[in-house]
Structure 1
Amino acid sequence: FNRNENFLTRMFTLEYSYWFDYLLPGLETLRMPIPLGGTSNHFRTDRLRELQGWDPFNVTEDADLGIRASQHGYTVGVINSTTYEEANCAVKNWIRQRSRWIKGYMQTWLVHNRHPLRSLRKLGLKNWLAYQFFIGGSFFTFLTSPIMWLLFFYWLLTRAHWLQNIFPSWLVYLGLFNLLVGNAIGIYLNLVAVFRRGYYDLAFYALLNPIYWQLHSMAAYMALWQLFTKPFYWEKTIHGLSKFTHAKVQEAAHKAA
């Protein structure tokens, strides 16, 4: 509800919009595992008890529960509705919150890969691959992104020939292709996010997605450090920092209408 407060809330809103309006419904359509979000979940109680509820040691316990539901052959659906919440508007607070989420993805990926063949049998090849790329690929991308950017800019400024001696030319060009196309897809996802809810004033900010991703990388390295030093520590997110409230935003929208 505070999407226009600052750069961070605008990017947060774009991210949530494509996540809940496009990516999760897409996973539902393809009948792939859905990592649950932390709000507005509805469960059949008997099924929840059968899954043994939430893992108290996983700091993103809802995502883990979505994977376990898929392993048991259950389908998680997406309801066409809206839950308004406060987009994090402070960088340090955002990094703490996101580091917990990413650490939970790391935990979920590690737990379900203790016995990868067993998971493969339970999930099936399509769902197993989706889980590997969607859960594992997310934090792996965050961790490697700054390294790739640094190598790219270093090569761009120095034309360092020693890099070509380490990496074969086809791999260098493949990396450049992934860098350009990958970021273009990230920008495109953020751009598409504005249409369903009419957030056209946020369209320009889609171009700034590579900057927003570097914040994810900072949170990912914090998550990786905590995974070894304090794996079950729950980074608290401070809420109520926004100068907006949902009631005020709704009131302003009614007046404008």
Structure 2
Amino acid sequence: MDEELLDDLLARVSKFASVLGISRSELKIYSTLLLEGQSSARDLSKKLNISYTKIYSILNRLEDRGWIRKVGRRPVSYEAISLRDLWSNVKKMLEIRVSQLEKEFIEPLSSMIDSASAYTVTVVPPSSLKRTLIDVLNEPSKKYLIAISFPELLDEEIYQLIHSRTFTSEVKVIVQKGIKVPENPSIELKVLDNMFGSGIVTSSSVLLVIKSHESLSSIISSHRYLVDIAQVYFNHLWQQALSIGTNP
């Protein structure tokens, strides 16, 4: 296992994972088990230079989350679940956290403001996603921040609509590496190796698209708080992304 490469990956991912309550140590232990196979707590403790007491605490959390499982007896060893199962697990965790934020913060806060100013969060069915993309891009906005990680979202009609926005607004587009985009000097375009999902952020709304069970799921919201968070996160990705033609 390339330790330097893994440490670099964990350094980039851990900032986002911490939002979900996932520590870097948990990511490190899961990755080690996935890449190197079954291991006992004692061997992990020695290899990763983590105290024996702490390693058990972390292993218990990972087991509770369903990321790892025990195998064998005396001594007990641990093995990692597959990446596919892990991704499904993380998406469920994200859905739970978003629902929890809505229930414990957004809903109580919205009850304190005028009903006319209340937020909206709408789940978009897959059959309506294309229409919703077009509607969002047709919203009057000073800027359009667009992240595309699924090539099926960027067909000719959507591309031409994005291009038309450049005549009146600031347009920034990040595409995931491997997605082909026609050269166009009027569009600020960057590329990123990997992204969590796709989305569009305007001055007044945010559309988030993720892939679930091989289909695209999405939500759209006009809540100011969520729009601000989306803009901050997009700008974070923009700083990490490379301009087209730039060597890493």
TM-score by shorter chain over 0.5: no
Q: Which has the higher strand share?
A: 2
TM-score, normalization: structure 1? 0.28
Q: Which has the higher contact order (CA 8 A, sep 6+)?
A: 1
TM-score, normalization: structure 2? 0.29
The structure that has the greater radius of gyration is 2
Q: Which has the higher helix share?
A: 1
